[in-house]
Amino acid sequence: MLWALGNLALTTLAFVSLYTVRFSGIGLWVVKLVFVGFLGTVVVAIRDLWKSSTRLQGFIAFLLCLPVLMFFGLLTVWEGPLHVSVSGSSPPRLEVEGAAGFHSIQIYGPEHSKAEWRGDDIGLIWSLDWPRRDKFPPMSLRFAYGTLPTGYSQKAPLIGAAPPLDPNATYTIVIQPAMGMPEYFMLQGRSLTEAEDEYATSVCWAPLSVPGRNDPAYVRVDCETKKALPMSERGQARLKAYQEKRLIYY
């Protein structure tokens, strides 16, 4: 029963550490201890069940194992936040930790504030993702900007290396966990701050009716007046393709 109580305390510590972004690395390390403690608890509890004098303690120990099993089950669908930090500056090194797993990253330059539709990759300077579906991506990873981590595929640029970063410019970093929603950060030099979305400036969208389509196209608008902003040739070409049903969505 003491084994079970101690392992339950470790499980609580692991859960709190994983949920508190800054201590995700500690949480991942404690999970390993929880697994070892769980095995030890089961072995000792079985021994206690064989003795009539300790049978009750063994039964209680098994009951205390139930929250631990629930914790392991929760880890298989964990959608908690990831811990992301940056060190160095030329190039910066990124550290990502968390039970949700690190699936992909996109880094956008200042030009991304000119995006004309949701999912517009204008300004995308570097992108990589985890291509394997048969294996869960790493829960802890450290890599330098422009250096492809083992097991990942580079999506942008398609050819060549990532361009150097301007220490005076502001970049948007989009981190996609294997489980959960994307997380957004702003990077300037060695300073990394959380952001609400993937745009460095205020970007607003509004529906635009398109003849022949049931679903409207969401286009850039002035955040105050809500009037559509002028479209570039690329934006107009995409809108035409959407109207002609060559695109599923705009």
What is the secondary structure of 94-127 as a DSSP string?
Answer: EEEE-TT-EEEEEEE-GGGGG--STT--TTEEEE
Whether 239 shows a pLDDT value over 90: the answer reads yes
Which strands sit side by side in the sheet containing 140-144, from one edge to the other? Answer: 83-87, 93-97, 140-144
**pLDDT at residue 1 in the model:** 83
CA distance 162 to 126: 6
Does the predicted model carry a pTM greater than 0.75? yes
Take residue 156 and report the two structure tokens written for it: 């942008």
Using one digit for the tens of pLDDT, what is the confidence trace for 6-19? 999 999 999 999 99
Whether 89 shows a pLDDT value over 80: the answer reads no
Take residue 246 and report the two structure tokens written for it: 């060559």
Using one digit for the tens of pLDDT, what is the confidence trace for 152-166? 999 999 888 999 999
- Strands (E) in the chain, as ranges, are 83-87, 93-97, 102-108, 124-129, 140-144, 153-156, 171-177, 183-188, 191-195, 204-208, 217-221
% of the chain at pLDDT higher than 70: 100
**pLDDT at residue 199 in the model:** 85
Higher-pLDDT residue of 2, 96: 96
**pLDDT at residue 241 in the model:** 93
- Phi, psi angle pair for 67, to nearest 5°: -60, -30
**pLDDT at residue 26 in the model:** 93
CA 123 to chain centre: 21
Using one digit for the tens of pLDDT, what is the confidence trace for 185-232? 999 988 999 998 888 778 899 999 999 899 999 999 999 998 989 999
